[in-house]
Amino acid sequence: MTAQAEIRDRRWPWYVAVVAVAVALSLSMISPPDAVQGDLIRIMYIHVPAAWLAYLAFTVTLVGSIGYLATKRMVFDRLAASSAEVGVYFTGLAILLGMIWGKPTWGVWWTWDARLTLTAIMLFVYLGYLALRRATPDPDARAKRSAILGVLAIVQIPIVHFSVVWWRTLHQPPSIIRPDGPAIQDPLMVIALIAGVVAFTVVYVALVAKRMELARIEDAIVAREATFERPVAGEAVVAPDLSPEPGGAR
């Protein structure tokens, strides 16, 4: 392993993440139950941050994609790809938590709600992004093509977020980011929700940093293998000595 490919093991983001998650979970437990939904509302403190991270992660993928297209620096490609991977995880988590929340609230695991359906579609867009990266072996071609897709795919985020406003379906409208101010009135609930968002964001940063480090090592290994001197085919075969032996017959 070359010096360039050494693992930089930073642990402090994980310590911060553990503390932030512990605080957020504690606040979500001590916050008051909802007047209508009761304790079910506590799923919101994980569901909303997971959904927020999906937006954040795919926006960072956009930033990384634009950064790569503008500078051709691989660090931006790693940022975009790592963020997309983590974003896919959190999008899946948001959908799963939404389904768990939906069963007692709406009576079904899945309903053809605009936001639910569009979020599932957004998940598949970014699964396609990751599939494209896996299918393109050349690092430069992979970075360029996935960067273009990363820019094109961002159109999903505003559609998903405002779908509950444009199509009045089952899903509740935005709780915090809405034109007429936050819908949640209880300050402790707002604090618990914000703490959840902050904690999940810290976890996201730690995960992306780790994934970028892994990607850097993967790239270093690929580059090393590309320049590694392998034995040439047929190297073991020695050309016969055809020179006349001294004193021998010709």
Binder to other proteins among 32, 38, 128, 158 (CB under 8 A)? 128
**Quick check: 200 and 45 in contact, CB under 8 A?**
no
If one asks whether residue 170 binds other proteins (CB under 8 A), the answer comes out as: no
Site for other proteins in 105-124 (CB under 8 A): 118, 121-122, 124
Give dist(CA 79, CA 73) in Å, integer. Answer: 11
How many Cα atoms within 13 Å fall on the side-chain side of residue 100?
13
Q: Is 210 in the site for other proteins (CB under 8 A)?
A: no
Nearest approach, Cβ of residue 150 and other proteins (Å): 11
Indicate whether 168 belongs to the interface with other proteins (CB under 8 A): no
Q: Which stretch binds other proteins (CB under 8 A): 46-54, 155-163, 168-176, 189-197?
A: 155-163
Residues 97 and 186: beta-carbon distance below 8 Å? no
- Give the span between the Cα atoms of 34 and 174, in whole angstroms: 17
As measured in angstroms, the least distance from the Cβ of 152 to other proteins is: 6
Least Å distance, CB 22 to other proteins, is 37
Sign of CA dihedral 126, 48, 44, 112: negative
Q: How far apart are the first and last CA of the chain?
A: 54
What does the block give as tokens for 144?
A: 């360029």
Residue 145 binds other proteins (CB under 8 A): yes
E strands, the chain, in order? none
From the CB of 69, what's the least distance to other proteins, in Å?
A: 7
201: number of Cβ within 10 Å: 16
CB 126 within 8 Å of CB 58: yes
Among 100, 132, 157, 217, binds other proteins (CB under 8 A): 132
**Does 138 participate in binding other proteins (rule CB under 8 A)?**
yes
* Site for other proteins contains 169 (CB under 8 A): no
Binding residues (CB under 8 A) for other proteins: these are 69, 118, 121-122, 124-125, 127-128, 131-132, 135-138, 140-141, 144-145, 148-149, 151-153, 155-156, 159
